[in-house]
Amino acid sequence: MHAPSDHPEPRRACPGEYPMWDQALALLNRDLAATLPEQEPLQLLVLPPYASDQPENVYVALSNGEWHGNCLNPHGAEADDPASALAIVADAAQETVSERLWQAWPVCAEHGLGMHPRDTDGQLSWWCAGERLRRGPAHVRAAVGALDTLVRPGRPNGKSRPGS
């Protein structure tokens, strides 16, 4: 039991405490730096459990400690494998950024539309509805974590995708 004076304060997760979420968030932070360079990196913020038999509550928060949406679940799919972790951390990051900063994020520079994370051929990518509005196919802007390769064309991605 905590003493009443032990007021629960949010704390930043230590590096390596949630390594799979660290890795996922690093990719999202690359995209954040590429699209909103004035924003400090997102962080994993840990709040104490509501009850002693509950896990800690981990949120994807802005650098100022604000977040929006659900916490990450240490016993959920996001703790099982890297792909699920990336998908769920991407959702959480998008929700926090768009709701706390009051803007769609990330935005497709080609169409000016907010994009959504989607699994394409096993890789989580930012998907934009822009081409579909012109009766074209759905268009994938870039892999999550690779938006910076678009704004800095001097740095090729290296990962070429055959076909399509």
Positions touching Zn ion (CB under 5 A) are 108, 110-111, 128, 130
**Phi then psi dihedrals of residue 89, to 5 deg:** -70, -35
From the CA atom positions of the chain, what is the Rg in Å? 17
* Six token digits for residue 40: 């400090």
8 Å CB contact between 126 and 142: yes
Identity of the residue, 92 or 140, whose beta carbon is nearer to Zn ion in the bound complex = 140
Least Å distance, CB 109 to Zn ion, is 8
**Shortest Å distance, C-beta 116 to Zn ion:** 11
Residue appearing with tokens 């934009």:
128
Residue among 77 and 109 whose Cβ is closer to Zn ion: 109
Query: Considering beta carbons, is residue 69 or 130 the nearer one to Zn ion?
Result: 130
Q: Which is nearer to Zn ion, 20 or 150 (CB)?
A: 150
The angle subtended at Cα 91 by Cα 155 and Cα 67, nearest 5°, is: 105
* Least gap, CB of 111 to Zn ion (angstroms): 3
Smaller CB separation from Zn ion, 100 or 111: 111
Which of left, alpha, beta for 110 (phi over 0: left; psi -120 to 50: alpha)?
A: alpha
Question: Smallest distance from the beta carbon of 131 to Zn ion, in angstroms?
Answer: 7
Starting at the edge strand found earlier in the chain, the sheet holding 11-12 runs: 11-12, 43-47, 57-61
| Residue 27 CB, nearest approach to Zn ion (Å) | 20
